[in-house]
Amino acid sequence: MIKIGLASTCDMYKSDTKNVSGFIELAGKNGCEVVASEEEFFEPREAAEIAKAFKECDLVVVMVKGFTWFGECINEYTKLGIPVCCWAVPEPQKEGVLLFNSMTGLNLFTSVANAGYEIPAVKWLYGNAEDEMFRNRFLTTLGAIRSIRAIKGKKIAIAGGVAEGFVNLQYDKEKLESRFEVAIEEVDIDELIDSVLDMEDEEVKELETEIKNDASCFDADTERFTKSCKLIAAVKKQFEKNDYAGMAIACWTRFQERLDIFPCMAYGYLCDHGYPIACEGDLPGLISIIMLSAATRNRAALMDMVQVDLEFNGVVWWHCGIGLPSYADERGMKIKEYPSAPGGPSDPGIVGDLVFKSQPASIFRIADNGDRLFAMSANIGRQRDRGHDGVRAWFTDLSMDGEAVNVPDFLETFTKNALPHHYAMAGGKGEAILIEAGKMLGMQIIKKEQYHDYL
């Protein structure tokens, strides 16, 4: 639960009768506990005394409902080292005496707190607690805190290293641990495979039945399917035994050499059931999944960008078969063998095959060991076609930071910024939340690049 400290300047006229209770109600509906000070402040000594009760909070909101000329009061809250919002409330009367002078107070506090900082130390809020703009800005901050808390202080693991040849997925362990305050552990992939081989078929019969019953069609090798279900069970045990927030696991070559499977279907099931998995050993991609899922409150998985259409103004995000069953459109998810090209070498399955249902969507990626982030909004709606075998959809209405992005601009953006080829995808709206989270973490936000014919 997110804990919020609520401080207020002095309301001499006691004219604000609804915003404190409205704020507490709004916060409660969004899973927060509010520590509201019964005392109000006018000078730094009083602000400091109130701030003592907020040391264990995740956020402080300073409500300005009466003017104080002691601008340094705000520093008593920023020195706590947690996010701070300054809230200006509308004046209680439109004419006559200026009772609150709340906007001047906001101006004073932010000019003191934010001076000299590239990223503001204090975020402004304005309006009554029920106003749309107030709610949007406040809930964005809550989402940012939630997405950081999803990774901060957690343990994540990597098994089998980064997939061979994917040098763009390499990472610096110390930098990631420092940026996100996360502990990274290494798991021996052969020990994981041993646990699959040691498992009896009876141990996964119930899981097999569940997955088959949820599938719209089953056309897969039963022996490989059983191994995939055993892998699901083995990975879940790793999570539960070690309290992992997520795992990055290589897809090859050990699974093929020892189990004769690709783990796509298993990874998709795990992602869809609250066990975040990044394929191909993509540890930064795993952090992207975890943060995106917390921001949108939806399951997330890694996708490749595989096709564009300039006329349709759409982009296909796809992966071999990391099927998230809950995302399937009305045709459901098929369980089938790995989609190998005709005449090519046959890769051992099992995969999920589906097209994502209509929904708003978010795309997210941390880059350069967390120094930068890419965030984009899109829509999954009208599909140009059913697309290629695997897990996929056409994404349209692309935008970054509220600005429309056409296909040429998108191509320019991801190539110029050297983005790795994996993108975390989830249903829902998470872009603004992740941008704010990135700023809280001191990350640089990647901006849209404008298309040109030249390099």
The answer as to whether 386 is a domain residue is: yes
Over range 38-43, report the average pLDDT: 96
Residue 344 confidence class, pLDDT cut points 50, 70, 90: low
Enumerate residues 6+ apart whose C-beta is below 8 A from 52: none
Across the range 99-105, mean pLDDT stands at: 95
| Residues 133 and 206 both lie in one domain | no
Residue where a domain terminates, one of 149, 167, 193: 149
Tell me: do 100 and 145 sit in the same domain.
yes
Do residues 229 and 267 share a domain? yes
Q: Quick one: which H or E segment has residue 139? A: helix 132-149
The CATH number for 342's domain is 3.40.275.10
Which has more confidence, 118 or 408?
408
Q: How many domains does the structure of the chain reveal?
A: 2
Same domain, 275 and 405: yes
Residue 83 has pLDDT above 80, yes or no: yes
Kindly tell me if the per-residue pLDDT of 195 is higher than 90: yes
Residue range 395-423: average pLDDT? 98
Position 32 in a domain:
yes
Residues 126 and 34 in one domain: yes
Each residue of 196-228: pLDDT tens digit? 999 999 999 999 999 999 999 999 999 999 999
Q: Give tens-digit pLDDT for 279-332.
A: 999 999 999 999 999 999 999 999 999 999 999 999 999 999 898 999 999 999
The token pair that represents 28 in the structure block: 């409660």
Q: Is residue 50 part of a domain?
A: yes
Q: Is residue 453 part of a domain?
A: no
Given a cut of 80, is residue 112 above it in pLDDT? yes
Residues 133 and 171 in one domain: no
In a domain, 207, yes or no: yes
CATH of residue 65's domain is 3.40.50.10940
In a domain, 451, yes or no: no
Quick: pLDDT tens for 397-410. 999 999 999 999 99
Q: Does residue 251 register a pLDDT over 80?
A: yes
- The verdict on residue 291 lying in a domain is yes
Residue 17 scores a pLDDT above 80:
no
Overall average pLDDT of the 425-443 stretch: 98
Mean pLDDT of 155-163: 97
- Whether the per-residue pLDDT at 346 is higher than 80: the answer is no
Is residue 250 located within the same domain as residue 108? no
Q: Is pLDDT at 261 greater than 80 in this prediction? A: yes
Instruction: Indicate whether 345 pLDDT > 70.
Output: no
Handedness of CA 133, 134, 137, 140 (dihedral sign): negative
> What is the pLDDT, as a whole number, of residue 334?
97
108 and 186 inside one domain: no
Same domain flag for 381 and 261:
yes
Say if residues 240 and 204 touch (Cβ distance below 8 Å). Answer: no
Range of the domain at 253: 155-445
Confidence at residue 416, expressed as pLDDT on a 0 to 100 scale = 97
Give yes or no: residues 304 and 320 share one domain: yes
Share of the chain above pLDDT 70, in %: 99
On whether both 367 and 261 belong to a single domain, the answer is: yes
| Spatial separation of the C-alpha atoms in residues 250 and 41, rounded to whole Å | 56
- Percentage with pLDDT > 90 across the chain: 94
Are 174 and 73 in a shared domain?
Answer: no
Mean pLDDT (the chain) is 96
Q: Domain ends where: 88, 118, 149?
A: 149
Mean pLDDT to the nearest integer, 111-122: 94
Task: List, in order, residues 6 or more apart from 284 with CB less than 8 Å away.
Answer: 169, 171, 176, 365, 366, 367, 369, 370, 420
In a domain, 132, yes or no: yes
Quote the Cα angle for 143-131-98, to 5°: 120
Domain boundary among 130, 149, 168: 149
Cα distance between residue 336 and residue 199, in whole Å? 23
